Chain A
Amino acid sequence: IAGITQAPTSQILAAGRRMTLRCTQDMRHNAMYWYRQDLGLGLRLIHYSNTAGTTGKGEVPDGYSVSRANTDDFPLTLASAVPSQTSVYFCASSLTGEGNQPQHFGDGTRLSIL
């Protein structure tokens, strides 16, 4: 079944540790996105990529990095986790980055930083 897969589903992490959240899509979408969702704040864009080899910063990029080595994969890395990064993280993709096509979301990763 075509779609977007995130791993892990959930994780508890000690502050200061490095963590990479994985995201893979098989829809051959050019654009991919990472969001965090916090109660009362809605989804906020962390980083995005309009095509393989390019990335851009979203609304809340500090403390996060991404790479886009190929079309299918878009990992998100927390270099040194802090408790304020406790959140639910969603990866999404769309056919292009022009913004006029719906984004398809993965099931999310629940991350707790202690």
Chain B
Amino acid sequence: EIVLTQSPGTLSLSPGERATLSCRASQSVSNNYLAWYQQKPGQAPRLLIHGASSRATGIPDRFSGSGSGTDFTLTISRLEPEDFAVYYCQQYDSSPPYTFGQGTKLEIK
């Protein structure tokens, strides 16, 4: 089973700043089979990125994903007020089981 470790646990930033979230895998994720999700309080997760770097339909271009192998990054270029949420990475390479990271909470500073 691939274990995903996200860092930091909490990230405190201001609107307009750049956010960089990390997801590290316990073994290589082949074919960049890694996705990112955003979850706001009281809502279901929403797909942001798949294939490590492909934005899902309707996702603003301030969201970008990068990385390969064991190290992946979600970048939000300029934070909007609605971007403050919890973000999860998920691998679908060695699956099942499909595994998620423990999440990074992005909060307003």
Partners in one complex: no
Q: Which residues of B contact A (CB under 8 A)?
A: none
Q: Which residues of A contact B (CB under 8 A)?
A: none
